Amino acid sequence: MMDNLESNYDCSHAGQDLHQLKQELATLQAQDANDQASKEAIHRLENQISFILNKCDINH
């Protein structure tokens, strides 16, 4: 998981970053953990993916 995504995010890294974030998300979702920490991690990953898609104007 990335620490911080800022408004000055460099979209040239989007392909690699999205791949990594989506893998992390899939791993967490496959664990089917229902504790609060897991839910927060999943939510954060989803937000990071959405941020990159929107910032870099990528159609998903």
Instruction: Summarize pLDDT for 13-25 with one digit per residue, the tens.
Output: 999 999 999 999 9
Tokens 């899939």 correspond to: 26
Based on DSSP, count helices (H) and strands (E) in the chain, helices before strands. Answer: 2, 0
Instruction: Indicate the average pLDDT of the chain.
Output: 91
Torsion angle (degrees, nearest 10) of CA 47, 49, 53, 58: -150
Residues 6+ apart with CB under 8 A from 37: none
Residue 33 predicted with pLDDT over 90: no
Read off the tokens for 3.
């620490």
Calculate mean pLDDT across residues 2-11: 82
